[in-house]
Structure 1
């Protein structure tokens, strides 16, 4: 339908016990910043809880105009052929399997994709990349974000959206990209050299496809809507599902 808002799927957390009111039950949930970010950018947000059925991820992505893979727990090191560091958190295997399948379906189908924090790491792992399991200085006390500068790499898609001057971003992570996956390149770094964004390389297999970008920070907690707006523009240009 002309003028329709593009449908943007957002992956969710999956928790064993969540309390609200008098209830304490298993729940699929998501911080409200994610759907509000998509809505402010002009998208129609829909949540995508893990679904173990064969083909579910591809079926879900087939109905979407864009995809956001949200932040959350550490990716299980076995997913990229590593042993767990003592400081790596417990695995979230259902989320890992579901979100990797969503990412692969989006890449295969040319669906615009934005990975946030964990989402950037999973984008890398989905294409054979590896992760640094622990680094210091990129998160504060539990339940807080730190703000630090990152510098986009000139000439990248990220720089086209945000410019190539340093900018302050809200972050909360202790892992990041180590070796980029096939066809990916680092498109922003922190002052200490930490990879802070990831996108298809100019000469890689995904270079001519839809918007694909991962960022290590959390735009859903800040005031800068440009990344979500770029995703929604790409989703709108691609056309809504019939």
Structure 2
């Protein structure tokens, strides 16, 4: 049987057919397609903070991208550029903590990586242009920017990426302090682009969007780890 990978979603207004602006639990199809291509079975998880019982039937978790996490999670107040979805934060934090208790394989993408950092005592820069002095991590609406990342030799992400270190980014926030996690990848300006916990079976966060290219290196690693759950 294919390993079952839960993918977090978010609730946003969406339109299709004759329907307009309905509150909808959604996530880009790229995530599910990447999991399927890697040999997993994707299951979408709407925000739900009532319990974490769904983990009983999951073999791995993928925390997807999306709006900013609430700065209250790392001891700050929201800045003028920060857009949050607190209900999603609550649901995903509960899932993450329960998954960590079970040592379930976890991959965090963009916002998902930032959630991992906040849950491990880290902090974020709320608006990178104010810190870095440029907007190369989010150059324009719906446009990914390419960077050449540098990965720590011997790390999980370095082993997965190999010689192809080009990453595609779209984010205006970034990691300031990784907390208990280890930074194992950085962009050319020094911004953390990958974090992991080498003591866990599989806990990896990437700031870029590997789902867009259906990157079998990362999604294959998640599915392979989930197959051993």
State the TM-score, normalizing by the size of structure 1: 0.88
**Is 1:96 the counterpart of 2:89 in the alignment?**
yes
- Structure 2 stretches lacking a partner, 5+ long: 129-134
Does the aligned pair in 1 maintain the 2:110–2:209 contact within 8 Å?
yes
Q: Which string of whole-angstrom CA distances, capped at 9 and with x for unpartnered residues, describes residues 108-133 of structure 1?
A: 11100000000000001111111111
Q: Which of 209, 213, 228 is the matching residue for 1:222?
A: 213
Q: Which of 66, 73, 80 is the matching residue for 1:79?
A: 73
Deviation at 1:27, TM superposition (A): 0.6
Please give the alpha-carbon distance, in whole angstroms, between the structure 1 residues aligned to 2:100 and 2:49: 20
Go from structure 1 to structure 2 and tell me whether the alpha carbon gap of 1:66 and 1:138 turns closer, same or farther (over 3 Å shift).
Answer: same
Does the aligned pair in 1 maintain the 2:33–2:214 contact within 8 Å?
no
**Is 1:131 the counterpart of 2:121 in the alignment?**
no
Q: Which of 4, 8, 16 is the matching residue for 1:20?
A: 16
Q: Which string of whole-angstrom CA distances, capped at 9 and with x for unpartnered residues, describes residues 142-192 of structure 1?
A: 1221111111111111112113x561111100111111122x110100000
**Is 1:52 the counterpart of 2:49 in the alignment?**
yes
Does the aligned pair in 2 maintain the 1:170–1:222 contact within 8 Å?
no
- Structure 1 stretches lacking a partner, 5+ long: none
2:40 alignment partner in structure 1: 43
Q: Which of 172, 190, 193 is the matching residue for 1:193?
A: 190
Please give the alpha-carbon distance, in whole angstroms, between the structure 2 residues aligned to 1:83 and 1:195: 22
Please give the alpha-carbon distance, in whole angstroms, between the structure 2 residues aligned to 1:43 and 1:224: 13
Please give the alpha-carbon distance, in whole angstroms, between the structure 2 residues aligned to 1:29 and 1:36: 14
1:6 alignment partner in structure 2: 3
1:161 alignment partner in structure 2: 160
Helix, strand or coil for the counterpart of 1:148? strand
Q: Which string of whole-angstrom CA distances, capped at 9 and with x for unpartnered residues, describes residues 47-66 of structure 1?
A: 0001132xx22x11222100
Deviation at 1:237, TM superposition (A): 1.5
Does the aligned pair in 1 maintain the 2:167–2:208 contact within 8 Å?
yes
**Is 1:34 the counterpart of 2:34 in the alignment?**
no
Counterparts of residues 114-129 of structure 1 (less than 5 Å): 114-129=107-122
Structure 1 stretches of 4+ with a deviation exceeding 3 A read none
State the TM-score, normalizing by the size of structure 2: 0.93
CA-based RMSD of the aligned residues comes to 1.2
Please give the alpha-carbon distance, in whole angstroms, between the structure 2 residues aligned to 1:119 and 1:142: 20
Counterparts of residues 140-179 of structure 1 (less than 5 Å): 140-163=139-162, 165=163, 167-179=165-177
Does the aligned pair in 2 maintain the 1:8–1:46 contact within 8 Å?
yes
Please give the alpha-carbon distance, in whole angstroms, between the structure 2 residues aligned to 1:223 and 1:18: 24
Does the aligned pair in 1 maintain the 2:34–2:215 contact within 8 Å?
no
